[in-house]
Amino acid sequence: MIRASSLAAWNSCERALDTLFGGALNPLRHLGALAFLFFLLLAISGVYLYAVFDTSVEGAWRSIDDLSRDQWWLGGLLRSLHRYAADAFVLVMLLHLAREWLHGHYRGFRRYSWLTGVPLLLFAFVGAIGGFWLKWDRLGQFSAIATAEMLDWLPIFSAAFTRNFLGNEAVSDRLFSLFVFVHIGVSLLLLFLAWFHVQRISHAEMLPSRPLALGATVALLTLALLSPVMSQAPADLSVAPGELAIDWLLLFIHPVMYATSPGWAWALSAGTLLLLFALPFATRSVRPPVARVDAANCNGCRQCFDDCPYAAITLLPHPDGKPGNEIAVVQGELCASCGICTGACPPSTPFRSVETLTPGIDMPQSPIGALRAQLEARLAAMGGDHRIVVFGCDHGARASTVEGTDVAAFSLLCTGMLPPSFVEYALRRGATGVVVTGCRENGCEFRLGNQWTGERLRGARQPRLRSRVPRERLRVAWADRGEEESLHAALRELRKLPRAVSGPIRRLQRGMR
Amino acid sequence: MSRAFSWIGQILLYAAFAAFIGVFTRWPSYQHLQPDHALVKLSLIHHGQRVGECRQLSAEELEKLPPNMRAPMSCPRERSPILVEVDIDGDTVLRQAAQPSGLSRDGVASVYQRAEVPAGVHRFDIRLRDSARTEGFDYERIEVLELRPAQILVIDFNAGKGGITLQ
Ligand code: SF4
Ligand code: SF4
């Protein structure tokens, strides 16, 4: 209930930003890629900071403070960028997590990505907090002591950490080596885990498109210029910090601990992580059937392999034994049951003169042969001036809402399941127009379905919609649930066209009669 | 939507994103220690006394032991828990009992607590029990100190420096 209303609110925000940015540049649709971008900025600025950082008690504060005072145009700028990129990283990571949760993307075949994503939260905060200690100012002192007090609350540590900060003489250069290890070591671990996190998706968007990357980087650089990060007074362990300008996005756990207790801070942080870990196991969902390969119809062309968004397909030697022949093999546990592979498979073209259309790869719950049969039956039964076919999907705008006497609507598992030749086939079989619809741009439930379909229809991706298909008879309307008005608009446009289809399709229509 | 409107909208959104980060990385400020207060930290790591007395082994008992383990005295390994209390101006402000660490309870017992006190002159009465006794204390130190605002006073224990230390 809460999730449903939050999702509705989220979708409204996403759509509002779509109108400003367009789907390809909408930051809310590229949160994972933005996180990678901010990590890259962190790495670049971090390399410079590490090069000038003095890992000694005496030198740590000065080496960083000098950057802001004597070299604001490079070191100071990079230092500020480093901090702001860390804030931005944590922010987009939390938004990414929230978005995936709202969409229910933590169960089934996505469980792996969820479970490898949750620990990134921990690594991100630990790495970021460790960065504050390095500059060894009042804020670093506060954070280091708060962390030590929190760790020492655990019975295993016997107050070992807090004693490192009892007085200035207790702090040694060795401690700074530990700080460096925590900050850089944990950040590298985070990167390593992030690699696992994206392992099960193909064509992973590791960086956002150039305008989006540029916009985000310029925004942070401008902030770094206008409001540079400065060190607070040097740490002094004989004096307790009073009023502190604190980075709430990264250090909020410290005030939470002092407002409650270390036990509560642990309960909050460990409890949240455990809850997130448990989420995929708390809800049981019935897994739909996965894609199935038909050896007799698979020629090993690899198009399904190229287009599968979840890297669920591998190629193995074909059982027919012919040298060089390959066959697609579906790894069931990775398969999202989206059917995008069927849309990519050349033998799924409806023009094949076989009684039962069986492609190389198909979805048992929604075979492509059944789609052809239904399409033929519906077109044959339709009279009137206009016969419009709508191909939609189960996740975007509901195609069934426009069903009518002159409209035959079909809902696929994903729009990406539609072999583009079905558009030509429908027109040749008497349709006067075709609408293809699916989730909004960059909002595909299965990541790439509408992107691949768009490219196939434009002739930019295999299998292509042939150029002879009159494009004025085709409307593409990317629309989410509740945005069915876009379908009606597309239908209105098609109804305005003259009934007769012109050009080669018309000749072919005549030939088929 | 006009291109100009889209551009302005995008710029405003990037600016809002940057402003959000810029603001919440420093505002609102956090009052860690109240103004005109000092911080008292009680932090000590201490071996409590052994729970039992060392005992001279008899000749027969020594005879039964392997030759390399024939120490004349047998001392129990287990240590007493420790109890520390700090009274400030007559009120017990800090109090913690701690068990020795280790499976055989022969390790150190550690204590860590903190308390904020108004700056000014205070009378500290610090007591530590580290033996098996059930009443009274093995160490006590009474001091009258003036604490400056934001000063950190560390109460520790160092047997080599006479027991309870203040720094
Ligand atoms: S159904 Fe989707 S996830 Fe499964 S193999 Fe086909 S394209 Fe890949
Ligand atoms: S696209 Fe079809 S024919 Fe090509 S490898 Fe995949 S299943 Fe086989």
Cis preceding-peptide flag for A234 (omega within 30 of 0): no
Residue A360 lies in a domain: yes
Chain A residue numbers touching B157 (CB-CB < 8 A)? none
Question: What CA–CA distance (Å, rounded) separates A29 from A95?
Answer: 10
Q: Domain count of chain A?
A: 2
Residue A285 lies in a domain: no
Residue A122 lies in a domain: yes
**Domain carrying residue A380:** 292-510
For ligand 2, residues with CB inside 6 Å are A 293, 298-304, 328, 344-347, 360-361
Residue A286 lies in a domain: no
Locate A246 and state its tokens: 């604190």
Question: Are A297 and A266 within one domain?
Answer: no
Residue A284 lies in a domain: no
- State the smallest CA–CA distance between residue B54 and chain A in angstroms: 27
Judge whether B2 is closer than 8 Å to chain A, CB to CB: no
Q: If you take atom 4 of ligand 2, which residue's CA is the nearest one?
A: A301
- State the smallest CA–CA distance between residue B31 and chain A in angstroms: 4
pLDDT on residue A24: 84
Question: What CA–CA distance (Å, rounded) separates A345 from A420?
Answer: 10
| Residue of A372, A150, A170, A173 whose CA lies nearest to A262 | A150
Locate A152 and state its tokens: 């020492």
Question: What CA–CA distance (Å, rounded) separates A505 from A503?
Answer: 6
Average pLDDT over residues A51-74: 93
- State the smallest CA–CA distance between residue B98 and chain A in angstroms: 10
| Residue of B3, B146, B99, B84 whose CA lies nearest to A19 | B3
Question: Are A297 and A211 within one domain?
Answer: no
Judge: B33–A241 Cβ closer than 8 Å, yes or no: yes
b/e per residue, A28-42, with b = 16+ CB within 10 A? bbbbbbbbbbbbbbb
pLDDT on residue A132: 97
Question: What CA–CA distance (Å, rounded) separates A117 from A204?
Answer: 14
pLDDT tens, residue by residue, A426-483 = 999 999 999 999 999 999 999 999 999 999 999 999 999 999 999 999 999 999 999 9
Number of CB pairs, chain A paired with chain B, less than 8 A apart:
123
Q: If you take atom 6 of ligand 1, which residue's CA is the nearest one?
A: A341
DSSP-derived letter for residue A93 is H
Question: Are A271 and A352 within one domain?
Answer: no
Judge: B32–A243 Cβ closer than 8 Å, yes or no: yes
Q: From A254, which residue of chain B is nearest by alpha-carbon distance?
A: B32
Within 10 angstroms of residue B23's Cβ, the number of other Cβ atoms is 12
| Residue of A139, A150, A238, A249 to mutate, testing the B interface (most B Cβ within 10 Å of its Cβ) | A238
Within 10 angstroms of residue A9's Cβ, the number of other Cβ atoms is 11
Chain B residue numbers touching A255 (CB-CB < 8 A)? 30
Q: Are B114 and B40 in contact (CB under 8 A)?
A: yes
Question: Are A298 and A419 within one domain?
Answer: yes
Residue A217 lies in a domain: yes
Provide the pLDDT confidence category of residue A158 given band limits of 50, 70 and 90: low
Question: Are A35 and A172 within one domain?
Answer: yes
Higher pLDDT, A304 or A163: A304
Judge: A219–B14 Cβ closer than 8 Å, yes or no: yes
pLDDT on residue B156: 95
Nearest beta carbon to residue B10 from set A21, A220, A243:
A21
- State the smallest CA–CA distance between residue A100 and chain B in angstroms: 21
Q: What is the pTM of this model?
A: 0.91
Mutate to test the pocket of ligand 1, among A335, A345, A394, A451 (most ligand atoms within 8 A of CB): A335
Ligand nearest to the backbone CA of A296: 2
Question: What CA–CA distance (Å, rounded) separates B34 from A342?
Answer: 67
Nearest beta carbon to residue B31 from set A84, A238, A243:
A243
Question: What CA–CA distance (Å, rounded) separates A388 from A487?
Answer: 12
Nearest beta carbon to residue A240 from set B15, B19, B32:
B32
pLDDT tens, residue by residue, A344-372 = 999 999 999 999 999 999 999 999 999 99
Question: Are A265 and A356 within one domain?
Answer: no
Question: Are A273 and A368 within one domain?
Answer: no
| Residue of A371, A376, A482, A374 whose CA lies nearest to A429 | A376
Average pLDDT, chain A: 94
Give the Å distance between the CA of A302 and the centre of ligand 2. 6
Residues of chain B short of pLDDT 50, as ranges, are none
Mutate to test the pocket of ligand 1, among A109, A294, A330, A415 (most ligand atoms within 8 A of CB): A330
Question: What CA–CA distance (Å, rounded) separates A229 from A140?
Answer: 13
Burial grade of A204 (CB within 10 A; 0-12, 13-18, 19 or more)? middle
Q: Is the pLDDT of residue A500 over 80?
A: no
Percent of chain A whose pLDDT exceeds 90: 86
Residue A137 lies in a domain: yes
Residue A474 C-alpha from the chain's centroid: 29
Q: Which helix (H) or strand (E) holds A489?
A: helix A485-496
Question: Are A115 and A174 within one domain?
Answer: yes
Closest ligand 1 atom to Cα of A304: 7
Judge whether B155 is closer than 8 Å to chain A, CB to CB: no
Question: Are A121 and A222 within one domain?
Answer: yes
pLDDT on residue A97: 98
Higher pLDDT, B145 or A322: B145
Q: Is the pLDDT of residue A503 over 70?
A: no
Q: From A227, which residue of chain B is nearest by alpha-carbon distance?
A: B22
Question: The CATH number of the domain where A61 resides is what?
Answer: 1.20.810.10
Q: Is the pLDDT of residue A502 over 70?
A: no
| Residue of A351, A424, A362 whose CA lies nearest to A389 | A424
Question: Are A296 and A258 within one domain?
Answer: no
Provide the pLDDT confidence category of residue A487 given band limits of 50, 70 and 90: very high
Question: What CA–CA distance (Å, rounded) separates B111 from B100?
Answer: 11
User: Which residues share a beta bridge with B154?
Assistant: B41
* Torsion A26-A32-A33-A36 (CA) sign: positive
pLDDT tens, residue by residue, A366-415 = 999 999 999 999 999 998 889 999 999 999 999 999 999 999 999 999 99
Q: From A20, which residue of chain B is nearest by alpha-carbon distance?
A: B6
Residue A297 lies in a domain: yes
Question: Are A133 and A173 within one domain?
Answer: yes
Question: Are A41 and A98 within one domain?
Answer: yes
pLDDT tens, residue by residue, A11-27 = 999 999 998 888 889 99
pLDDT tens, residue by residue, A117-148 = 999 999 999 999 999 999 999 999 999 999 99
Q: Are A342 and A420 in contact (CB under 8 A)?
A: no
DSSP-derived letter for residue B78 is -
Give the Å distance between the CA of A73 and the centre of ligand 1. 50
Closest ligand 1 atom to Cα of A336: 3
Rounded to 5 degrees, what angle do the CA atoms B39, B43, B49 make?
150
Within 10 angstroms of residue B12's Cβ, the number of other Cβ atoms is 12
pLDDT on residue A508: 58
pLDDT tens, residue by residue, A237-265 = 999 999 999 999 999 999 999 999 999 99
Judge: B38–A243 Cβ closer than 8 Å, yes or no: no
Nearest beta carbon to residue A20 from set B13, B38, B39:
B13
